[in-house]
Each structure stands twice: as structure tokens, then as C-alpha cells.
Chains A and B, each alone.
Chain A
Amino acid sequence: MRKYLFLLLLIYFPCANAQTSDSKISLSFENKNLLDVIIEIEEQTDYRFFFDEKWFDFEKLSGEYSQVSLDEILRDVFKDTNLNYFIKDQRIILTQGSIIYDRLSDDFLKIEDETLLAEEDTQTPNPIFYVNSSEKSNTVETILIGKENRQSKQNSYQIEGRVFSKQGEPISGLNILLPNQNTGTVTDIDGNYSINLPKGVNLIEMQALGVNNMKKRLVVYSDGVLNFEIEKNFEELGEVLIEANARDNVKSALTGVEKINVSEIKTIPLVLGERDILKVATTLPGITTAGEAASGYNVRGGKTDQNLILLDEGVIYNPTHFFGIFSGLNPFTTGNVSIYKGSIPAAYGGRLSSVFDLNTKKANKEKFTGEVSLGPVTGNVSLEIPIVEGKSSLIVGGRATYSDWILNLLDDESLKDSQASFYDFVGKYSHEFDNQDELNVSGYYSSDVFSVTSDSLFSYTNRMLAVSYSKVFNEKHRGELVATNSNYDFNLDFESDFDNNFDSGYTINESEVKLKMKYFHNKKHTLNYGINSKYYNVSPGEVRPGNSESLIEELSIPKERAIETAVYIEDSFEVNDKLLINAGLRYSFFTAFGPAEINTYQEGLPRNETTNIGIESFDSGEAIKTYSGPEVRVSGRYFLTPNFSTKLSYNNTYQYIHTLSNNTTAAPTDTYKLSDSFIKPQRANQYALGFFKNFDNNIYELSLEGYYKTADNLLDYKVGADLFLNDNIETEVLQGDGKAYGVELLLRKKKGALNGYLGYTYSRSFVKLDGDFQEERVNNGDFFPTNFDKPHDFSAVMNYKLTQRFSFSANLVYQTGRPITYPIGKYSFNNSEYVVYSDRNQFRIPDYYRLDLSFNVEGNHKIEKFAHSFWNISVYNVLGRNNPYSVFFVTDNGEVKALQSSIFAIPIPTITYNFRF
């Protein structure tokens, strides 16, 4: 009844006479807050304001008005607030958010008609009324779905459809919310959604980053289909840096999932202005690197080879450029990134610690668009090209350095010989068939060439091709067939003044076929199941004489071949409104097969040359060794309150491929080795518990997660192990146990002038190498900290919007220094001094901290221009902190010296320019 009265009140307003302020006034104020301004106006005029002081913030205003209407002043004064005003006679009524109408909009009348219609048609006990409650927008479109059927006793109906942008791209990750009921849904990657709405009037809100928020009023009388078209909102892009769908974090059953919306990372200051998805990921709890120039990522205390990095389902072995300073994934063509560091869905496997699932954007199918970015190190172009309008399109992106060219310009002799350059290229073609089937073809190629000394030239390339066909069998059943091929190779060419020139190389190639099925059984059960199988072909190393004079002997380590197959099934079971369980089982098999010749060693003795007693030969296709095991993936969510959930998960994982590296940090020169008779698969268990809370209308997200991990058969190496071109790798490896635990706290503010996130992680990571023999033990067989064990890790990523066009961003990072092995003594040997080292990783390099700042300028929106521009002016490491990357000890002219290397020891200013058309 109260609502009804309010409706009447609203209808009454048109009769009231508003806007009487014809008289002109003059006013001048400087750095006053809103309240003072209002008092000023009250003093000058007869108007009186009605408001609640609590609505005012502390922003200072300045202005100068001469003989202007009061209305004009008020419009100015309130433009940056969430306050509306209404002038009635000599009274000015301020309202927070809501607008008091002095006339009804056309929509309003239309709605009125429909309501009346409803009222007339029904004699139900609950006539459907609605009123314009506290809505910010006065143009909420109302959509009627179906006709009311008096016989129907159904209380809710299913509405489904698809959401597109005006350009015809599907909008994924859009939240469709029922604010009054605290429920909602999210569109999938193709923009599809489905939601159950109660009968009658529903106000729905659509929110996502990068699109304008939109509200619709749905009057629902039956099941129906409703497609939306939404306007992309570029002004909003800078606002929130990393997003999870509004309630996804509390709602999903998975623990330890991070989502990065790539289009929103552009304001984050990064070194040399390179927008970098994976570097942004490292600002999130639980994801770190060993240092600024370390290739690879450590997720929750895992090694760098334990991450499955997928681009459009295809594996990318080395997603870094220029050692590890830049990532190799194009930020302009990548759509969204999900990082699973806790619960790993059963569909993924083969790595212990995490899955980085990156998807290339689907190109705009209606309109040719493009984006160009120029930074100091690279130039980047991406284009979205419609092929058949509305059906198929192509996105291509390419990036290349100009640094090589610069080095060549220099007169400096020593630099002229050095080079460092890279480029990468990515493309994706998508075609949508009439029957909703879809074909996607993606390709990726990256290349790096660098030389550290003038005689050696290193190069590596990644190549990936993925073809996927997804089919909708019926409403309930969908499937996708994917075929991928990934290749990574690494070369070292050595050329010197002596007759020992050589070329050497390493290649790993994998081909995989996956069948991924999804079955919506009913509202309570959604099943995912499938099978995948991959074939590995590894050339562990070969060396060829560099020229005809070279005395180097040609050598090729025999190839390794293996098949890794897995089947999986997973049920997402909504037990009740509060409890959601995601239970999956994956079973993986691994077989290494011939042709091969495998060394055999005496039992009960350490493996080395002297215990090598023979060779066992395997024919082509003959199994050398088979491993298999079940992988359990269980997680559950329980809502404590609608915006507060707790989650629990358990995971176990198997990994059959390992990097060979005797470096303290990962390097691009690391190679991969498959499990074989000697090297057992790595295994891990992870238990995680999390609490997730959203408050203030999902503006703030708070999460607290804890995990405990154990691992078996982690691969490590004897000191000084020679891993490349070694036929007897098994004599150099150690396998041991690992354990890691941590607590991760993340607070995110998703909206407002100031937005961003704060993350703090306390984590530890240990390994134990306790073989049967002295030479297979490290630190007496006790647990010791891993090379990337950094207990305290704090990151703040902040963005402050001055206006729609100008914003400031800042990153602050603090990390405990990583462990190193420090000398604890010196000795003389062979006329020189050498150091004797402590137990492994007993000391730490100094703590790491860094502040980066950037200032961002969006192009002008006011005029319809050909291109939309964006400037980013940033300074990396503003404090000029000389963060040590490593400390090492050399014997130079017979004396021991301690050297410290740092990568970016001084502030690095950068300007990047970016435009989109």
C-alpha cells in the first residue's frame, strides 16, 4: 500500500510547478566544500535547501559565476556527486541517487499502460504493481515476456538469451543481477545466459566492466528468450583493474581462482610500458616470480614448470620474452584469463600447481577495428576483421621490438655485437554456423634472439596451432572437439676464433586431441566429461659443427616419445541454495615408448658411470615405462550469508614432464624432460579453505584463503649438474618431497574514483632431497626453503580517477628477499681462492620493494573521432630501489669477489601511446 501511495505521489508531481528560478545570481567560491557552497547560496537568495549532511563528501569545489541562473550553478555543483536536486518554489530538495520527476517519461507512461493492463486482466490475490523505487536512471526499459495465464500456478519462469555489444560481439562475464533478491547469473563466453525469474515484475541489472551498466524491467509471465544489445563503455575501462564477476568469487565452488580482464590492465604501470598479463598476475596473491628477470611463475610454492599455460587450449611452453622481463602473450588480442591456483577443474591436468587459461578475443564480426600501441621497446598492432558479416571474423595481433635496430645504430663496439630482439604473432579465426555450432582456429608464434657474449647466439621460438569445433547437440548437451599442436625449440649457436664453432638445439613438440562435453542434467546437476590424449616428441639435444673447419663432433641425444591420456568426469551439484559441490575425477595414463636405449645400473648403488652396467633396448612403439593414477578434484561452497561464503577443496595432480635446470631461477635455456624409467612423475596434493565476502553492493570483495600442499618426486639436480646434451640425465637428477603452505588475503575495491586491490600473502615453500646416498642428499636430507620461498608478499595496485579522462595509478610491491646459498668460508686451491658454500638456501638476499606510478590520459570523447587515443606516462621503480636480483661469487684473478646483479635499479620513465579505431 505504501508503494502505491508513492506511485500516486509521483503522479501528483506533474501538477506541481517547478523550475521557477528565472532570476540571475552571481556567486564565487574557492576550495569550499559543498555545505559551505549551499550556505552561500542560501545567504544570497531566498532559496532553502533540504538535505542530509551525511551525503556530502569532503571534496573541495571552486567556481565563479556571474549573472547566471541558479539552475546552472546547481547543475555544476552537483555534477560530480551522486546527488540530484529538485527546485520547488523557494525550496531545493536534494536526493541521493534518485531523481524526483516533475514529469513522466514516455517510458513511464508505457509502463503505466502495461500495469493497468495487468491490473485489469487479473483478479489474482497478488496484483502486480511496481513503482519506480530508488533508481538512478530514469529510462529503465520495460519488457513484457509472455502473457499472464490465469491458469498457471507456476511461480517462476526461465528466461534465456544472449547478450551482444552494439558491434555484434558476444559479451561474456556479464552479470545479470536481481538486486532485490540478491541472485543473478553470468553470461558465458559466448554471451549466453539463462536465469530463473519469479513471476511478475523483475528489475534486472546488467553489470560488467567495459560495458555500460544497464537496467531492464522484465514483466514475466512465461518462459522466454530475450537478447540484449549493450553498449560498450570505454570510459569505464580504466576503472577496475582486475575483475571477478560481481559475485563469482563468493558464488563459485572453486577455491583459488583468479580472473584477469585484460582490457582493464592498461593503467597499471609496468616496466617499459609493456602491458603484460602475466606480470599483472604476479601482483595477485599466490603468484610470484623469483625476480624481475626470472622466466616462469611460481604458484603457491610450486616450481616454474608446474604451470599449464594454455592459449586457446594449446600449450605455450615459454610465454616469456627477453629472459623473463616481458611476457610473450599479446595483451591486445587476449580476452580473458583465468588462473586456477587452488581447485583445478578436472578437464585440466598434467601440471601440479596451476592452470593459466588464456583466451584470444573473438573478433568483431560487424566492423573492422584495430588498435595500435607504441612503447619504447615494442610496437604492437592488432586488427579485428569481419570476414562474413555476423558470421565469421579474424583477429590478428603482432608485436615486435625495435631494440635490435637501436643496438645496431650504436657506435659502441661491445654493444654492436650483442643483440636482443623478439616478436610474436597471434591470430584467431572464428566462424559461427547457423545452428550455433562454432569453429575457431588459433595460431601463435613467438621468437626471441639474444646474445649475452659476442660468441654465442641464443634463440627460442614457440609455435602453437589450435582448431576447435563446438557443437550444441540440444538444449542440454554441448561438446567441443579441439586439436592442438605446440612446439618449443631453443638453439645456441657458438662462433669463436678457434675451431670449435657449433650449433646446438633442443625441441619439444606435442600434439593433443581433446573432447570436452558439457551436459546440463537439471538445475541441480551440470556434468563435464571428456577425454584427451597428447603425444610428446622431444629432441633432447643435438649439436652440429658450425662450419667445415670446426672440430666439434656431431652429436644427437636420442628422441623421447610418450603419450599422455586422461579421462575425466565432473559434476557441479547444487545440493541446495547454500551448498554447491563440484566433484571431479580425472584418471591419467602416461607411457614412454621406444625406440630407445636405456642405461641400466647396479641395484643399491648411486647411479653414475661406474655403476652403469649395460643398456636395455626398446623397439619402436614398445612401452618403456607406464605410469597412471587417479586425480581427485573436489571443492564445495557454502553460503553463510548471501554475500559471504566459505569454500573447501582438495586436489591431487600428476605431472609427467619436467624442466631440466640447474639454475637458481628459471631461464629460457631450460629444457624439458619426460618421465622415464628413472624419473618418476611429480605428484601433488592441495587442501584449501577459503572465506569470501562481498559488501557494499559487491563494490568490495574480500577473500581469505589458506592452503597446504604436499608434493612427491619434485625434480632437482646435483650441484654442477650438466644437463644439456647429457645422455645420462638420470645420473644427475634427484627427486624429493615438497611442502608448501600459505595464507592469502585479498581486498578489492571494484568501483569508484579510487579502485584497485591490496593483496598480502604469507607463504612458505620447502623441498627435501634425501636420497639413499650422500651424493643424493642436499642439506643432510632435511627440508629447506626453495629458491622462490618468499614468506611475505604484499602488493597494492591502485587507480585513482581524477576525471573520466585523467587517472593516476600506482603499484606497490614488497617481498621478502629470496633465499640464496651464501659462502661460509674460503679456501686456497690451485693458486686461487674459492668459496665454500653454506647449506643450500640458508640465507636471503635483501627484501624487495618497488613503487611504480603512472598517469593515464584517455583521448577526448566529446567529438566523434576516427581514433580513440590513450597515453600512459609511467615511472617504474620510482624510488630507484636497487633490488638485488642475485648475489654470486666469482674467482677473478685468484681472488673471491661478491657480485650483486640487479635488473632495474633506477627509475625508468616510459611513455606509451595507444590508439584504437
Chain B
Amino acid sequence: MNLNIKQKRSFLLIALIAILVSCVEEIPLETEGFEEAIVIEGTITNELKQHQIKLSETYAVDTTGPNPLSGAEVRVVGNNEYVFEETDPGIYISRDTFAAEPEVGYQLRISVNGQEYESESMQLPDTSNIDQLEASRIDLNGENGIAITLNNEIVAGSSNFYRYEYTETFKFNSNLLKVNDLIIEDGEVVEVPKQKEEYTCYRTDESQNIIIANTNTLSENSVKDLFITFVNSNDPKLSNRYSILVRQFVISQGAYAYLEILKELSGSGNLFSQTQPGFFAGNISNINNRDEKIIGYFDVSTVSTKRLYFDYEDFFPQGSTRPKFVADANCAEVTLSIPALRIQIQQNQIRWSSTSPGGIFSVVQRRCVDCTVFGTNEKPEFWED
């Protein structure tokens, strides 16, 4: 047996191919029958405000939602009965402001389409405040970026289960700062000074992932270095000034378990073994038909929030190229024939870039100049520069 090194290497190459063979691909989501179910999202907190309950129904997998459920009678019964009124389709807001109080059982009662639904009675858990919200530049799974982590206060009580939501707001600039605009006046293309702020904008994104934590497995009864989110260094979110508001909900163990399953079943899972999916019940049921599948969990939580700001320069060297929504390469000037230019202006597709001494207009794509394509030019009320 005389295998020389070359032959061995070719064997290895084959092996390599094999390791890369297993693949995951996206496939079209097909409708394989449809089942209606009521979806209830509702959390009453210790904040004094008008609380909100959201009702919707499931929709077919090949359609887009949401599918709000209107016309329901919604009440939360604690010390008092709080009536909720539908303000938008499927959105029910309490008529009165109230805050959940400790040691009171709250129950959600809904009647819709002749059916009565009731949640289990839930109580307000202990309070825990966010102690520290931190941004740090790290490498995560081969990507460089900013990780947002959270620590909370050590609590004496038994509030061990947490859910987090966050709102990211960031300031950004468009690729090009231009002072003039082109408009059509009496059929003529005319250059006028820019009327609208299009260079500096703000954008707000809500969290979509389920972020939960518990302190059961930790040595101290507090959350330490909890990973909230990660923003890649190339993300335009970081390009100027970034802010994140994190809301911490202390939740019941039941709500935690519910969200944990939801998260597990909707997560990417493992290529080789898949968690058995199926229906899992929350704490709401039809009082006349316990077998009806109700999606959602009614919970009573204590809330604490914290906001963090940082600038691009806090983490990246001055003078480095800032990430943008549009690559600079796509922002080259072009000149168009007048009829083409007119159509483009009417359709709001382009922006003025420069005018040649001969009066010829050069233009660029609108998104290179107008930041409102990606956000709003209104500065949020809370914003601190």
C-alpha cells in the first residue's frame, strides 16, 4: 500500500466536500389547511397608564397579517373592573388609567363571537430595576460590532423571570448633503433651494426577538451581562449617534415558560435534530370549551426602563468610513434628457446634485440625498445630543 501524499490529499478533498454537503434551504411556505385561533397579547404593568390588550386571529400561512379581531368586550378584573375599548382594529385600550398593584389577582375576561374567554388570575411580581446598560465593541461569531448588555439589581425577593423589549433609535445622515432641489414649474425643470431637511434623520426600530432571562441557574439573584442585541459595525445604525431604550418586565414563571417554548420552536434549531413542534397552551381558555386552542399569555409585570446613548466616535476611530444605507458607488452623478428628468422628478426618484456652467443638471438617486427614505427628519422628543 503506497499512498503518496498527493493521493491522500485528494481523499481529504472528497471528505471536505462531504462535510459541506448537508444544506439548509428556504422553501416556499405552502398552505396545508388552516385553523382559526384567537391570539391574545396583553400585559398589565405597575405603570400608571392606559393599558393595552391586543386581539387578533391567525391567518393562512401564505397570506400576510395581521388579522385583528374586532368587536370584543375586554375587561381586566382586579380590585376593580377595568373596561377596555377598541381604539384601532384589534387594539383595546383601558378606559381609565390604572397601575397594577401588588397582592391583587388580575384576570382577563374577553367575550367575542358569543364565546367567553378567561385567563388565570395573575399577580404582580416583585420589582427589579435595570442597573446598568452597557455597549461594548466585540467579535461575536466572526462578526465585529457593538454588543448591548444589561445588568440588573440584586433583588431579595423571588422575581427570577425577566422579559426584555427594546427600542433602538438612531440619528444618521444621507450620503450627500445638497442645498438645492429640482422642481417642475410650468412644465420647466427649475432649480430651487432645498426646503426640507433631508440630510439628518432619525429612525426607530422595535425589537422583534423574544429576549428572556432567569436567574435560577445563576449564582447571584440578578441578571449579569445579559446579551440584549448586537449591531454589526457595518450597520448604518451606528453611523452617527445611537440610542437604545430597554424595558425590563419581571414576569411570571408561567409566562417565562410560554415564551421559552415559543422562542425554541421559532428558533433556527439544529440541523440534525428538530424540537418536536406543536400547540402549547398559555393561561387563557374558553370557559365553555377547554379544548379550544388559545394563543397567548396574560401577564402582570413590573417594568423598569433604561436608555443608553453613544456616538460613532466612541467606538470607531475618527476618519474611518461610516456605514451608510446606500453604498457611495451607487451615488454617482448622472445627466438625463429633459423629458426623462421630468418624469424622474414627478416620480420623486432623483435629487439635484450639481448644475454645469451650461445649465445642465446633474442628478443622483433620491436615496443618496434624502434620508427620509430610511427614517424621519423629526427629532424624537426624548432625543439628547
**Which A residues are within 8 Å of any B CB, using their own CB?**
271-272, 293-294, 323-324, 372, 374-377, 402-403, 406-407, 409-410, 413-414, 417, 420, 452-455, 497-500, 543, 545, 551-553, 555, 609, 662-667, 669, 717-720, 722, 725, 774-775, 778, 780, 787, 821-838, 840, 842-843, 867, 869, 886-894, 896-906, 908-911, 913, 915
Contact = CB atoms under 8 A, between A and B. Distances in A.
A908 B273 contact: no
Query: Which 10 A-B residue pairings sit nearest by Cβ, starting from the closest?
Result: A720-B261, A825-B58, A667-B273, A891-B266, A894-B208, A719-B278, A663-B273, A828-B66, A376-B15, A553-B219
Given A719-B277, A904-B21, A836 B295 contact: yes
Contacts of A720: 257, 260-261, 264-265, 275, 280
A452 B66 contact: no
A403 B295 contact: no
B279 A888 contact: no
11 contacts: A294-B272, A402-B15, A663-B275, A725-B217, A821-B276, A825-B60, A838-B32, A867-B1, A888-B274, A889-B277, A911-B14
B193 interface: no
Contacts of B138: 497
Interface stretch (B22-30, B348-356, B357-365): B22-30
Nearest to B68: A828
Given A720-B280, A831-B206, A898-B29, A374 B24 contact: no
B3 A913 contact: yes
Nearest to A499: B225
B58 A827 contact: yes
B65 A376 contact: no
Residue in B14, B225, B266 with the greatest tally of chain A CB atoms within 10 Å: B266
A665 B272 CA distance: 8
A904 B20 CA distance: 9
B157 interface: no
B12 A836 contact: no
B382 interface: no
B277 A824 contact: no
A402 B5 CA distance: 14
Given A664-B273, A665-B273, A821-B277, A406 B25 contact: no
A878 to B, nearest CB: 14
Given A902-B22, A904-B21, A829 B208 contact: no
Interface stretch (B141-149, B168-176, B240-248): B141-149
Contact of A719 (B23, B253, B276): B276
Given A402-B15, A454-B141, A913-B3, A901 B271 contact: yes
Nearest to A898: B29
Contacts of A832: 208-210, 266
Interface of B: 1, 3, 11-12, 14-19, 21-30, 32-37, 39, 41, 56-61, 63, 65-67, 138-142, 147, 149, 165, 206-210, 217-220, 224-227, 253, 257, 260-262, 264-281, 290-291, 293, 295-296
Nearest to B60: A825
A899 B270 contact: no
Q: Interface residues of A: mostly helix, strand, loop or mixed?
A: mixed
A437 B212 CA distance: 64
B208 to A, nearest CB: 4
A403 B58 contact: no
A901 B268 CA distance: 11
Contact of B12 (A402, A551, A899, A913): A402
Nearest to B281: A775
Given A420-B19, A838-B33, A500 B225 contact: yes
Contacts of A552: 217-219
A831 B206 CA distance: 8
Nearest to B220: A551
A271 B14 CA distance: 12
Contact of B21 (A500, A838, A906): A906
A879 B305 CA distance: 58
B315 to A, nearest CB: 16
A837 B277 contact: yes
Given A718-B280, A836-B58, 18 more contacts: A271-B18, A294-B272, A323-B273, A376-B18, A377-B15, A664-B273, A669-B273, A717-B276, A719-B278, A720-B257, A720-B265, A775-B281, A821-B277, A827-B37, A827-B65, A830-B208, A886-B274, A902-B22
B188 to A, nearest CB: 45
Contacts of B210: 830, 832
B258 to A, nearest CB: 9
Nearest to A828: B66
B207 to A, nearest CB: 7
Contacts of A905: 21-23
Contact of B22 (A664, A717, A827, A903): A903
Contacts of B39: 827-829
Contacts of B165: 830
